[in-house]
Amino acid sequence: MNEGALRVTLWVVAAIQLGLGLLGLLAPGTFFDEIGTYAPQNDHYIGDLGAYNVAAGFGVAMAAMRPEWRVPILVVGAVLNGLHAVNHLFDIGEASSDAKGVFDTIALALLAAGSVYLARVSSRLRRQDPT
């Protein structure tokens, strides 16, 4: 992956994080119905999750613009998504269906792995061009 592809990837990740966060903050009922169907619905906690996702999206957007920020922000993203995946693993049976519980857990684990991969790519690119 080159610098241009990495930057585009980071902007896409930032947009997704920001979109999810804003949905949780501004439309918690929709977020619950369409994404976070773990009963019972709690709009306050959905808003909290939205705030965390907006902050994460902001961080990834900053990383897209500032190469020196990439590795630390992506490592934090890996930890966040990894812990989120573990939490889903423990509550896999609480999802609206078993398939959704499994899908959510695997998707979050893949996001954590993707963050590690992007951190490694970022580190390699920085070593090649430390300017």
SS3 assignment for the chain: CCHHHHHHHHHHHHHHHHHHHHHHHHCHHHHHHHCCCCCCCCHHHHHHHHHHHHHHHHHHHHHHHCHHHHHHHHHHHHHHHHHHHHHHHHCHHHCCCHHHHHHHHHHHHHHHHHHHHHHHHHHHHHHHCCC
**C-alpha to C-alpha distance for 32 and 121, rounded to whole angstroms:** 34
Alpha-carbon torsion (11, 19, 116, 101), positive or negative: negative
- pTM for the full predicted model: 0.88
Contact 14, 57 (CB under 8 A): yes
> What is the model's pLDDT at position 27?
96
Label residue 97 by pLDDT band (50, 70, 90): confident
Domain extents in the chain? 3-128
Whether 129 shows a pLDDT value over 80: the answer reads no
Q: What is the largest CA-CA distance in the chain?
A: 50
**C-alpha to C-alpha distance for 57 and 82, rounded to whole angstroms:** 16
> What is the model's pLDDT at position 109?
97
Whether 71 shows a pLDDT value over 80: the answer reads yes
Whether 123 shows a pLDDT value over 80: the answer reads yes
- How does pLDDT run across 53-68, given as a tens digit for each residue? 999 999 999 999 999 9
Label residue 130 by pLDDT band (50, 70, 90): low
> What is the model's pLDDT at position 39?
81
Whether 21 shows a pLDDT value over 80: the answer reads yes
Mean pLDDT of 24-47: 91
